[in-house]
Amino acid sequence: MAVDEVVLAARNVAKSFGAVHALKGVNFDVHRGQVTTLFGENGAGKSTLMKILSGVHLPTSGELILDGKPVEINSTVEARELGISIIHQELSLAPNMNVRDNIFMGREIMGPFGVNYAEEERQARALMRELEEDIDPLTPVEDLRLGQQQIVEIARALSVNSRILIMDEPTSALSASEVEVLFKVIHDLKAKGVSIVYISHHLEEALTITDHAVVLRDGVMTAYAPRAEIDLEWIVRNMVGENFDLGSPPATTYGAPALELRGLSVASHTGTGLAVDKLDLTVRKGEIVCIYGLMGAGRTEMMETVAGRLKPVAGEVLLNGESVLGLSIAQRIETGLVLVPEDRQRDGLVQTMTVGRNLSLSSINRFTKGLFTNTREERRIIDESIKEVTVKTDGPGAPIGSLSGGNQQKVVIGKMLVTHPDVILLDEPSRGIDIGAKAEVFRILAEHAKQGMAVVYSTSEVGECLSIAHRIIVMRRGRIAAEFTHDTTKEAIMAASGESLVA
């Protein structure tokens, strides 16, 4: 194998969607048996470029060169035949089908009497062993947590035996141990000569595996360097033009208790044990609290119970001193308690609706009466929300799927903020969004905290704990393991969670 041999190249590739120029003459090389990492803010053109390389889109102009020869890739099927596969940022699994059928969907293994389900199951189990994940191939995908669904998506791509594997945010829902396993798999694939194109907003994480780094900004390649020449500051500077942090806790005077959890216990989804175990927590008006913990710590179960999606087995949830346990999700929203869920695609957005309709959905009672809709009031609410959360869109009528991941997340947050809540819960609000969008999201939350809103956000990224939070709660096995103020250290937070800081 030649040193730094380019197996796939994009030359002067441009892509336009109407008046929007997503890519503007990009040159991009994929090196055989190496990892090329693509950095950039949401909307920079990363996913568009990857969709062109994998046959989802055709370029408006420019060309692709595979093994030194020009090639036109008209579909994902053609890309797969050429040995190119992609793991998309947003999961594309069929939730009503089992793991095995999802892995082999569209390319079933045939035997003399039809589909050879036994062989498919054998191969699916082998893939799960390779990924060190204890998932039964016959389990319906809808019964898996988000991180496990991401593992199934990865397994499906690995099953194709591709020579070029594109990974678009493959670790966004994975635990630290699952990320470690994935990186072992990437190392093994490289040793076999497989080329990896890797996209991640986890900058420090991506630095540990990259061989080449490329930065896109506004559809243009702004920087390229081999691994030896880059660091975190180089990436951030080329992505956003400056090196900045995610903000600091806003100065505020706390008010009365807004949210109180008293002895809250929630059953585990497995049916054995407790996901949340006798948890006590008080959050005051104007306070920002970060909940940190590893996968399985009980963060999501706690938030979904408070929001009304799960029922507790014991305990109380009080909003402004009044119990909300007897209220539905809609009633809790009307009362002033809202949740921004972890999975924005499945739980936060309606994919068939426009940007505007998604933004106004949770406040529909403000502009409807019976069968009549006050369209002027609805438009006012939408326009104010787009401005407040700085959604980059062609307009309220644009399809929600036309937005980048970061802007979709702003829509989910904006949808909840238009209800004027007293308490907002955010489960992994920065999942799959870039550093610039993270800073904007945290700025929005800080501004609302200054106005007296209580903010509770969970994260599995320890760096996000040390940004805008006044207080950091570390959960472990359903209980509060430690509590810190914002001037603590990463090492202290991770030690309390049972995690070690790896250099």
| Mean pLDDT, rounded, of the chain | 86
User: Residues 482-489: what's their mean pLDDT?
Assistant: 89
The torsion defined by the Cα of 217, 223, 229 and 234, in degrees rounded to 10, comes to -30
What is residue 501's predicted lDDT score, i.e. its pLDDT?
40
Q: Coil, strand or helix: which one is 343?
A: coil
SS3 289: strand
pLDDT value of residue 240: 67
Which H/E stretch holds residue 376? Answer: helix 375-388
pLDDT at 261: 96
- Exposure pattern of 321-334 as b/e (b: 16+ CB <10 Å)? eeebeebeeeebbb
| CATH number for the domain running over 244-336+421-503 | 3.40.50.300
Predicted local confidence at residue 306, as pLDDT: 95
- Whether domain 6-240 has CATH 3.30.700.30: the reply is no
Distance of CA 172 to the CA centre of its chain: 5
Distance from C-alpha of 444 to C-alpha of 340, rounded to nearest angstrom: 14
Question: Does the pLDDT of residue 32 top 80, yes or no?
Answer: yes
Q: Binning pLDDT at 50, 70 and 90, where does residue 482 land?
A: very high
Burial (CB count within 10 angstroms: exposed 0-12, middle 13-18, buried 19+), residue 365 = exposed
Q: How far apart are CA 478 and CA 414, in angstroms?
A: 30
Structure token pair of residue 63? 């060309």
Two tokens, residue 211: 């061989």
Scanning the structure block, which residue is given the tokens 């996209």? 199
**Cβ distance 295 to 460 under 8 Å?**
yes
Most confident of 40-44, 234-238, 239-243, 252-256: 252-256
Output the pTM of the full model.
0.63
Handedness of CA 307, 312, 315, 316 (dihedral sign): positive
Q: What mean pLDDT is predicted for residues 326-345?
A: 89
Between 499 and 462, residue with greater pLDDT? 462
Residues 6+ apart with CB under 8 A from 219: 21, 22, 23, 24, 26, 44, 45, 48
Rounded Cα distance between 374 and 347, Å, is 26
**The residue type at 103:** I
Q: Please give the biggest Cα pair distance in the chain.
A: 73
Sheet containing 322-323: order of strands: 274-284, 257-267, 314-319, 322-323
For 395-420, the pLDDT digits (tens) are 888 888 888 777 888 888 888 888 89
DSSP 8-state class, residue 340: E
For residue 443 the two structure tokens come to: 């700025």
Tokens matching residue 204: 């420090």
Q: How far apart are CA 117 and CA 137, in angstroms?
A: 11
Half-sphere exposure of 414 (CA within 13 A, CB side): 27
The answer to whether 235 and 71 are in contact (CB under 8 A) is: no
Q: What is the DSSP letter of 107?
A: S
3-state class (DSSP) for residue 429: coil
Residue 151 near residue 135 (C-beta atoms within 8 A): yes
Domain boundaries, the chain: 6-240, 244-336+421-503, 351-420
Q: Do 90 and 345 form a contact (C-beta atoms < 8 A)?
A: yes
Phi and psi angles of residue 320, each rounded to the nearest 5 degrees, phi first: 50, 40
Asked if the model's pLDDT at residue 242 lies above 70, the reply is no
Tell me which residue of 192, 176, 87 sits closest to 132, measured CA to CA.
176
* Three-state secondary-structure class, residue 49: helix
Beta strands at 288-292 and 454-459: parallel, antiparallel or unpaired: parallel
Cα separations in angstroms, 240 against 319, 423, 430: 39, 31, 17
Taking only the tens place, the pLDDT of each residue in 85-137 is 888 766 778 889 999 999 999 888 998 889 999 999 999 999 999 888 889 99
Give residue-wise pLDDT tens across range 178-220.
Answer: 788 888 888 988 988 889 999 987 788 888 899 999 999 888 8
- The two tokens of residue 251 are 């100065």
Question: pLDDT per residue over 51-98, tens digit each?
Answer: 999 998 999 999 999 999 999 999 988 998 899 988 876 677 888 999
Tell whether the model's pLDDT for residue 1 goes beyond 60.
Answer: no
